[in-house]
A = this chain, B = another copy of it.
């Protein structure tokens, strides 16, 4: 049936995204992904020729999602403080769907793709957007509004405070011995918590 043309292909990508970034199964095999998707494993090779090829494809998709998360905010014409809040909310929202996104990005799996220059290059307009935001940060810093010593520290602070709780959720659940529900409440409080830290 030609109707299923790209549907199966998309299903495989979506499933791989789920297995990697939602469930954090970093060592997932093609068999696991095929089983989860409910398709025959050979279909993965039919659509993506090889395991690495699928992984690179998924990585490119993740890369785009990740970048869009920021780029959608950078150029908005709103007060700086509001923009930062939106950025944090945006990062947290993304990680509620894909808690293990960064875990994956920081692992060797991805570096294979990047080393071979298989990943999508960053378009000019996206670089412009980032630079625009960067300049805003510099401006706010010079006015003494921020609790940071440089733009890079400021940006690192935002990411650290927003992302780390997701990465460490499994560990923290054990250490603090709290329930999944309580941890969700904790994550809900994070945006205000982080805003309180970043500004003077």
Q: Using a CB–CB distance below 8 Å, which chain A residues touch chain B?
A: 24-27, 102-103, 105-108, 111, 114, 147-150, 152-153, 156-157, 159-161, 163-165, 167-168, 170-172, 174, 176, 186, 189-190, 192-193, 196-198
Where chain A touches its partner, the secondary structure class is helix
CB pair B160–A165 under 8 Å, yes or no, is yes
CB pair A189–B153 under 8 Å, yes or no, is yes
Number of identical monomers bound together in the oligomeric complex? 2
Q: Given A161-B160, A197-B197 in contact, is the A149-B192 Cβ separation under 8 Å?
A: yes
| Neighbouring B residues of A152 by C-beta, 8 Å | 176, 186
Q: How far is the CA of A5 from the CA of B147 in the complex (A)?
A: 55
Q: How far is the CA of A164 from the CA of B163 in the complex (A)?
A: 8
| Neighbouring B residues of A196 by C-beta, 8 Å | 147-149
CB pair A171–B105 under 8 Å, yes or no, is yes
Q: How far is the CA of A107 from the CA of B148 in the complex (A)?
A: 31
CB pair B147–A197 under 8 Å, yes or no, is yes
